[in-house]
Amino acid sequence: MLFRYFAVSIPGRPISQFESLNPAVALWLEQIANVRIHGRTRRRPVDLFVAEKPMLKPLPPHAYDCATIDSASVDRQFRVSVDGNRYSVPAAYTGRKLLLKLYPERICLYDGEKLVAEHLRSYDRAQDFEHPEHAAPVLERKRRADEQHLLKRFLGLSPQAENYYRQLAERKLSWRLHLRKIVALADVYGAEKVACALADALAYHAFSSDYIANILEQRERRLPEPGPLHLARKQDLLDLQLPDPDLSVYETEENQTEQGDNADEAKV
């Protein structure tokens, strides 16, 4: 890029980016600017460049650091405030002062010579910018504290809770979720009922919060009380029409029996 920040007016040509000017500027330098007589030196710039070139020194290997340097204090939310915005740093630097290098497009924060955080610079106001890895240690400590509190509450439900927890952890990858649900059930049904449900589930080798919830639900379910027996109306009982019994069946069986007895006597 010949003249990235050099403003040149070319009539009739819209300028969208400075890079689009480079070919035109190169042609202007080659055919006009560098070959005409300079007003003060009375020589052509192209001839002066040939004479001065052996005396030129190489450019520095690194670009010039044009940052504005200041100090920044890290608050308890591991943030630094810059121009009305808040930028995160690693949580380990909470309460410390860091070196701030403010560039037009980014901000860099240093602990001595060590770069600890870098953000794109924002020119808005009241914005918060956080790198996820900066908060990771804090979130991990909070997760462990929550886990310890959850386990303490669960183990306090019953003397058998520890045994149930160990076997649950061996069988379930998501044992934390099951513990959290069982503790929540204790808030609903009470610790005593959950302790009884844990004992039953342990006896049946049922290791899941779903089993505990099912046991509690079954015990809390009330069966409907039996209602009074409704008999038919008296007038309906009086109006019953029963057919006369058929006694001919018995007469036939009696005749057959007598005939059989007579035959047996005759044989004798």
pLDDT along the chain (268 residues), means of 10: 45 63 85 90 91 90 87 95 95 94 94 95 93 90 91 92 92 89 93 93 92 90 71 58 74 60 51
pTM, entire model: 0.48
SS (HEC) of the chain:
CCCCCCCCCCCCCCCCCHHHHHHHHHHHHHHHHCCCCCCCCCCCHHHHHHHHHHHCCCCCCCCCCCCEEEEEECCCCCEEEECCEEEECCHHHCCCEEEEEECCCEEEEEECCEEEEEEECCCCCCCEECCHHHHHHHHHHHHHHHHHHHHHHHHCCCCCHHHHHHHHHHHCCCHHHHHHHHHHHHHHHCHHHHHHHHHHHHHCCCCCHHHHHHHHHHHHCCCCCCCCCCCCCHHHHHCCCCCCCCCHHHHHHHHHHHHHHHHHHHHC
Q: Where are the domains of the chain?
A: 1-56, 68-130, 136-220
